[in-house]
Amino acid sequence: MPEQSLPGFRDFYPDDIEFREHIFSIWRRVATRYAFQEYDGPALEPLELYTKKSGEEIVDQLYCFEDKGGRMVALRPEMTPTLARMVAARANAYKKPIRWFSIPQLFRYERQQRGRLKEHYQLNMDIVGESEAGADADVIAAALDILRSCGFGPSDVRLHLSDRRILANVLVNDLGVHPGELNKVLAGLDKIERSPETAEQYLEAALNRDPQRARAVLNLGLTLREPDQQLLNGPHAASLREVLDRLAAMGLSEFVQLDLGIVRGLAYYTGLVFEVFDVERSFRAICGGGRYDDLISQLAGVDMPCVGFGMGDVVLGELLKERDKYHPKPKRLDVFIVAFTREDVPAVLALAQELRKKGKVVEYSLRYQNPGKQRELAWVRNAEFVLTIGPEERADNAVSIRRSQEELSHRVPRDQVIEHLKRPPNQSRAT
C-alpha cells in the first residue's frame, strides 16, 4: 500500500497548485493595489517568540523540538510574532506607516476539522506605525476587496465588526469584572457561539468560580449580536464610528455588520476587531483581525501601534468551490512538435528551443515514436499548434503547421514560424 501524507497535511497535485496560485494571485494583486509590500521570514523560529506572546500553554499546539544546537524551536503557527521581530529590528529604517503583507505556510498541532488543518497558507496584511482609525478602515477595505475579487458580494459574505474597548468598559464598569480577569473573560465570550455551555464553564473558571457573575456575563454575550445603540454612542466607540464612516465613503457598508459578539479570543488585541463569514455561517471565519497596539512592545521592546488581519487558504478555498466561483482555464500547450523520422529529431530539438526562447510553451516526444503516437500525445496535451518536421520539410527549410481547429496542415518557411503562430485563426496559411 502506498505511503500517505500525514493527517492534516496536504499533497498539492498540479490542479491543486493551479487552484492555490489562483488564490495567491488574488491576494497579491489586491495587496499590491493597496500599496502593501511583500515580506517573508523563516518557517522555524525560537520557541520563546511564541511563548512570550501567548504563554507556555501554546506549546501543546505547536510543532516544537530541540534542535542540534540545543535551541528550543518551533514551526511558525502564525506570522505576527515574526512581523514584530522583523519590524523591531529595523524600526528606524522605514518611513511610517509600514504596509507589509506575507503569504506564509503555518503549522499547528491540533485536531483536524473542516476548514482547519495542521498546516495552511495564510495571507497576512498589516499596517504598522499608525494608531488612527484610517489604518483600521484600510485593512478592512483590503480584506473585502479580496473577497469581491473572488466573485463574492454582500449576499455571500459579511464582515462582523466590533471594538473590544466597548465591551471591556461594560464588563469592568457594569458587571464587576476585574481588569486582571478581563482577557480570560473575553476568551470565554469568544466561545459562546460554538458552545454556550462550554463558554459558561470557562467564564466561571475565569471569574473565580462565581456563577452569578458568570451568568451575567454570559447573558450579556448572548445579546451582543444586535448591540444597544447607547453602546455605539459612547466615547469608547469613537474609532468604531469613524471606521464605519470611512467604509461607507468607500462604498463597502453593505458588507459590514456591527456585532459586539466578535471579541477575537487572542489576548493581544487592544481595540477594533473583525471577522468575515459566509452569510449562512456554514463555514469557519474566512478571515479575522484587528488592532494590536502593544504586541511589538511586548515582544521586542519597540512601541509601535499595529492593525492587520489573516486570511487562510483552506476556508476560502472551500467557499470558492462550493459557490462555484473558481473556473480553471482549460490547460493548453502552445506547440507540440512531431518528428516524422528519427533523423528529424535534431531539427525538432533546435526548433523547440528557439520557440521556448520566444516564450512559447513547447513539448515534443522525449523518445522517438511513430508520428501517429506523437500526434496522439499532442491531442492529449490540447496543443493549439502541431508542427511537423520530416525529411521534405528539412530539405525545403520549412515546417508543416496545423492549428487545432483546422483539418489540414500547411507548410511555411522555417524562419516565418513565429509569425504564423501569432496569426489569428483562418489567417495562418502561407501566402
Q: pLDDT, tens digit, for every residue of 290-334?
A: 999 988 888 878 889 999 999 999 999 999 999 999 999 888 899
pLDDT in tens, 98-136: 999 999 999 999 888 787 899 999 999 999 999 999 999
Q: Does some domain include residue 4?
A: no
- Residues 147, 203 within the same domain: yes
Q: Does some domain include residue 328?
A: no
- Residues 249, 359 within the same domain: no
Least confident range from 35-39, 82-86, 263-267: namely 263-267
What average pLDDT score do residues 204-220 get?
A: 75
Q: Look at residue 431 in the predicted model and tell me its pLDDT.
A: 39
- Residues 344, 302 within the same domain: no
- Residues 389, 414 within the same domain: yes
What average pLDDT score do residues 195-215 get?
A: 76
Q: Of 274, 299, 322, which closes a domain?
A: 322
Q: Is the dihedral of CA 51, 57, 58, 60 positive or negative?
A: positive
Percentage of residues of the chain with pLDDT beyond 90: 66
In contact, 200 and 209? CB cutoff 8 Å: no
What is the domain count for the chain?
2
Per-residue pLDDT for 257 more than 50? yes
Alpha-carbon Rg of the chain, whole angstroms? 29
**Average of per-residue pLDDT values in the chain:** 90
- Residues 180, 311 within the same domain: yes
Alpha carbon distance 275, 252 (integer Å): 15
- Residues 289, 388 within the same domain: no
Q: Does some domain include residue 205?
A: yes
Q: Which of 22, 104, 116 is nearest to 320 (CA)?
A: 22
pLDDT in tens, 276-298: 999 999 999 999 999 999 888 88
CATH number of the domain enclosing 169: 3.30.930.10
Alpha carbon distance 170, 162 (integer Å): 14
pLDDT band at residue 266 under the 50/70/90 scheme: low
Q: Does some domain include residue 43?
A: yes
Alpha carbon distance 195, 397 (integer Å): 76
Cell 508542427 belongs to 387
- Residues 40, 143 within the same domain: yes
Q: Does some domain include residue 6?
A: no
Least confident range from 126-130, 183-187, 411-415: namely 183-187
Q: Of 293, 322, 351, which closes a domain?
A: 322
CATH number of the domain enclosing 357: 3.40.50.800
Tell whether omega for the bond before 179 is within 30 degrees of 0, i.e. cis: no
Q: Does some domain include residue 276?
A: yes
- Residues 318, 339 within the same domain: no
Domain of 412?
335-422
Q: Does some domain include residue 155?
A: yes
Q: Does some domain include residue 330?
A: no
Alpha carbon distance 26, 149 (integer Å): 7
- Residues 45, 175 within the same domain: yes
- Residues 348, 267 within the same domain: no
- Residues 257, 152 within the same domain: yes
Q: Of 266, 287, 322, which closes a domain?
A: 322
- Residues 316, 341 within the same domain: no
